[in-house]
Structure 1
């Protein structure tokens, strides 16, 4: 019996897989509204010896004790999973086979909210993690490139899923750049694994 692929994916030469229609419009709208009520905060980050606000809002939900430290200066402590976030986590796991213990939310309020070139290589995620990114709301440009190479652009759509495959964080960097053009607010949910490095 032929299995029907309900989530047609875009296979690329990059270590990512893109599912533009991961959520239907009703699912995406409902999840977006749910996310607007999450506990958002603007954290402070240390860069170049200075303390400055992170240029976007952030939140984190997940398993108890799965604290997430990035840039050696921002510590995120997860709140318990909401029912909707847990449902999306399980849906991604069923599709991809990858398990996730936290979700970090980023809210880009306008074109000046952004995240610069980086790789997600925090030890708490273990070696060569898979990271699943769900986009909601306004469309923003996402760029990814091999370290020292040229960028490829994705326009991440409402309800889409971008899966960064194991190994991606070791060989590639990515960003959501600023833009002076009008863009609607966007919420990005990044589902991540977690390992206990204290053992």
Structure 2
């Protein structure tokens, strides 16, 4: 895999790697079509004392019992791995050396956040724990931004079939987002592979 280097003379050192050609165009197209058949849903989230729809479609697949709770109000229970998602999981593990137990799919944008939910393990961002996150992008090319907490963002353009790996430690020091866009764009699907303690929530 070829790593993309952004602004090599001025860009900060980031705890991420980006591989624009992780999947071939044909592989990415086939996986995109497979993802159309996944069980997408729009969940409800509790914010500021109100219940409202999550502003994106979501789905989750993975190992039995690896429930995922975020924002203290949205509980996702994984469906069994599909053959295509399990093969992609194995391929990412072989390429990165990191292991994953669930994959969360989402469409559209998401604001600044880090991924440090308790189900990922106690302080899952600590490097010694070996926790990492790997995201495959399909469909429309969208901007991904990452920044040190309190710092300035660096932009990546996540291409169809690309892989972005956030290494151990990233979630404790950086925030990331896929910002909203006013442009008319086709559907983008993100598949984020994550670790999990295996404990029920």
What is the TM-score normalised by the length of structure 1? 0.91
**8 Å CA contact retained: 2:66, 2:199:** no
Question: What does residue 121 of structure 1 align with?
Answer: 116
List runs of 5+ in structure 1 lacking aligned partners: 1-6, 109-113
Report how far residue 197 of structure 1 moved: 4.5
Structure 1 residues 179 and 142, CA gap change in structure 2 (3 angstroms): same
Where do residues 26-175 of structure 1 align in structure 2 (5 Å cutoff)? 26-108=26-108, 114-126=109-121, 127-128=124-125, 129-175=131-177
| Alpha-carbon distance between aligned partners in 1 of 2:98 and 2:31, rounded to the nearest angstrom | 21
**8 Å CA contact retained: 2:133, 2:167:** yes
Moved over 6 A (4+): none
Report how far residue 145 of structure 1 moved: 0.5
1:22 aligned onto 2:22: yes
List runs of 5+ in structure 2 lacking aligned partners: 7-12, 126-130
Task: Look up the SS of the partner of 2:32 in the other structure.
Answer: helix
What is the TM-score normalised by the length of structure 2? 0.90
Report how far residue 52 of structure 1 moved: 1.1
Task: Look up the SS of the partner of 1:10 in the other structure.
Answer: coil
Task: Look up the SS of the partner of 1:66 in the other structure.
Answer: coil
| Alpha-carbon distance between aligned partners in 2 of 1:196 and 1:56, rounded to the nearest angstrom | 26
| Alpha-carbon distance between aligned partners in 2 of 1:58 and 1:133, rounded to the nearest angstrom | 14
Question: What does residue 4 of structure 1 align with?
Answer: none
Report how far residue 162 of structure 1 moved: 0.2
| Corresponding residue to 1:183 among 185, 189, 192 | 185
Across the two proteins, how many residue pairs are aligned to each other? 187
Deviations 1:116-157, CA, capped at 9 Å, x for gaps: 110000111122220000000001111110000001111100
Deviations 1:18-68, CA, capped at 9 Å, x for gaps: 010000000000000000110000001111111111111000000000000
